[in-house]
Amino acid sequence: MFLTVFFLLVALCTQGGNGKESEEAQRPGHVSVVIVGGTGDLAKKYLWQGFFQLYINQVSSGNTFSFYGGGQSPTEKATPVLFEILKAVSCSKDVSQERCALLKDQFLRLAQYRQLKSLEDYQDLAKHIEQQLQEEGMTEAGRLFYLSVPAFAYADIAEKINSSCRPKSGAWLRVVLEKPFGHDYRSAQVLASQLRSSLTEEEMYRIDHYLGKQVVSKILPFRIQNKKLLDPIWNKHHIERVEIVLKETLDVKGRIAFYDQYGVVRDVLQNHLTEVMTLLTMRLPKNVSRSEEVLGNKLQILSSMLPLGKNQAVIGQYQTYKAEVQQELNKTKDHVSHTPTFAAVLAQIDDAQYEDMPILLISGKMLDERVGYARILFKNDIFCVQNHNNVHCKPKQIVFYFGHGSLQYPAILVSKNLFKPALVDSEWKEVTEHKDVNVFGLPISDFYIQTPMEQKEAYAELISHIFFGRKNSFISTENLLASWDLWTPLLSSLASTFPRIYPGGADNADLLDIHLKGKDISYNNEVVIISTDQLGGTSTNGFQVMQGKFRSSEMVSAWAEQLVDKLAADIQEAAEAAIYEGGVFHLALSGGSTPLALFHRLVDHHFTFPWRNTHVWMVDERCVLPTELESNFRSLHDHLLQHVRIPYYNIHPMPVHLNQRLCVEEDGGAQMYEKQLIKLVNSSSFHFVLLGVGYDGHTASLFPGGKVDELGDSLVALTESPSKPHQRMSLTFNVINRARKVALLVMGKGKHELITQLSRVKDNPDKWPVTGVKPTNGNLVWYIDYDALIG
């Protein structure tokens, strides 16, 4: 017969089925705890330890317990696994070794493994519980099922519990569900409907372990304890912004099968960070222990959120994620995942108290440190004229520090120039001795700090709440659907968005820094990181990662339209600077289709461009008549020159057609263009040269195998192309590399393989002519769009 230990001291028991903590002393009873998935990772790490802690705390309450680890494996196979897990549970420091050993022995005697696969298995479990109750003459208090299984199994298991494992009238039933609770609004709605057919709302406990973290659980008590001081400043007039941040240093290896379907927004922002946001902004309840009021006030906030769209989010993906997906999901090398591993979202509340107040929700993998916090940064209207280190001029902030980071322990921090807060409860203490630690760039001594006297694990705290039927730390169906209603439109808009690639760790530098403008958010730096060593390697240490660098030169990267905007602005800036300095701007433009979008941008938007003082030169030309469509000059004329007010004598086409023939050496066209260039361009140094790159690595009309080193000191030369028309005229590296600024424009997915190759190869102008672009005293900037950069 299965052994049950009785403890006969009377204490509070919970009321059956209504989800509220009992206010009256109840007769003690027997509680059956069933962890479905009882030998899984979550159960091993947290759940059994949490239930052991519950057992220790309730051991003298008059309640008795049975613990069941359930799973699909046969009993003879899984029983040894379960007991290895149970042997690893431990007691808190305040429990003596002798007492701990006794409690642990009793706990193990009260536990057993049961196969829970079919309906018959659940029926057998119910018969076993009822037989045990009858044989030992026990009154049943309730049954607690913890579903530590994939979400797709919830509805089926709930149906089995409902049909076969419900306790008799007078005892409660509580079923705990782990996230994810759906993938979007529709799937969450379907799952909620399925569960509702088997369980009542009061019986379901959707757990978010973040709500069990000690600091998170004290956000409301802190606001209530300090209400008089906070009420005047807890609004848009005094709060500059709210930051809710969870940073992690680890990757997601081993979790790819799950993570690639969900990503960081679904995994962290939609639940953990959203819950923290509601705690910070909800109307304070009259009674914090009243679940209905707390959940209702949270719902009001969720219903007042402004819609989230593409302009309210930026996303990123750490550089080795693609390779991890290919390996773990057995995908081909050309498979690309859009799943973000980093996200920053700007949320705002349509409410008079918080209108236009930025709320940032940020989380990511492979970041510089492991830390979690909610930070309320207040506006400071004091300006110190001389002593900027005066405490009054330092940032005013309240920080709910969840743990880890530089502080290494959970705490609530309040700037000393704000107010001294009351302790949240008797189990917390004020920290008066400070280590040499900085938080947000400030010494820890600038803050009033309070921290729990004893650190407790989140799951243990929430398991205690479940036992007592306290639902204010759990997610109701209504609140869940309201949250998904907020996040689903954003997820849909991001589905086809390429995340920004970042290398991971300290190498991210300021790549993920964000910029807020009104209700929109964007990356502060439009430059993208790319490997200059071995793109697609397996570890961050294998990369020579440089922000804004490609092949050791500057790089600008953006979506095509923004990239062209940036290039056009840079050209105008260079033109204005050159004219200010010397009265003239010499611009050399390459042929081909790549610069056409740039030409249109200059025509349609840059009405103040100084064309009257600009000389336009050709980088290269095909040896065809200038009237033919293949002519680079014809393209330049049709798409740019005829639409701007540039003097005709400032236009310098290459003389490929002389003596009624094309590109004949004896006609001296190349020498003619060179003399014109030497005469008009000071030191033969163009102010700006725009180049493209062909699929074979050629630039200008300098092709692989063209033996560019044999062109001598010439500035202009006749060259041979492998494709028709074969004859070309081109500037040489001798003059290109004298330019003050050279821009290499690369656009389109078709150029991705080229960019990958160029990121790996060494300088070899004969094989890869573009690697010969090396301005002597000027700057080289690569302008690469996202399609070319990430494919």
User: Would you please indicate which residues are annotated as catalytic (active-site) residues?
Assistant: 272
**From CA 325, how far away is CA 255, in angstroms rounded?**
10
Dist CA 767 CA 764 (whole Å)? 6
Please tell me the distance from the alpha carbon of residue 586 to that of residue 611, in angstroms, as a whole number. 11
Record the tokens describing residue 151, joined without a space: 């979400």
> Other C-beta atoms within 10 Å of 114: how many?
21
Residue of 670, 680, 693 lying closest to 751 (CA atoms): 693
DSSP secondary structure letter of residue 763? P
For 545: left if phi > 0, alpha if psi spans -120 to 50, otherwise beta; the answer is: beta
Return the HEC string of 255-317: CHHHHHHHHHHHHHHHHHHHHHHHHHHCCCCCCCCCHHHHHHHHHHHHHHECCCCHHHEEEEE
What is the C-alpha to C-alpha distance for residues 48 and 236, in angstroms, rounded to an integer?
Answer: 44
- The 3-state DSSP class for residue 49 equals helix
Tell me the C-alpha distance between 449 and 430, whole Å: 6
Helix H segments across 36-139? 41-42, 48-58, 75-86, 97-109, 119-136
Contact 181, 191 (CB under 8 A): yes
Half-sphere exposure (CA, 13 Å, Cβ side) for 634? 11
Q: Taking the mean position of all CA atoms in its chain, how far away is CA 310?
A: 14
The DSSP element (H or E) to which 157 belongs, if any, is helix 154-164
Q: In what order do the strands lie in the sheet with 239-247?
A: 428-431, 447-452, 411-415, 396-404, 371-378, 239-247, 359-364, 342-347, 313-318, 500-502
Neighbours of 196 (CB within 10 A): 14
Contact present, 587 and 686 (Cβ < 8 Å): yes
What is the torsional sign of CA 366, 367, 369, 375?
A: negative
d(CA 420, CA 455): 23
Token couple for 222: 């802190």
CA 411-246-545 angle, to 5 degrees, is 125
Cis previous bond, 180, omega within 30: yes
Number of H helices, E strands in the chain: 23, 36
Residue 170, SS3 per DSSP: coil
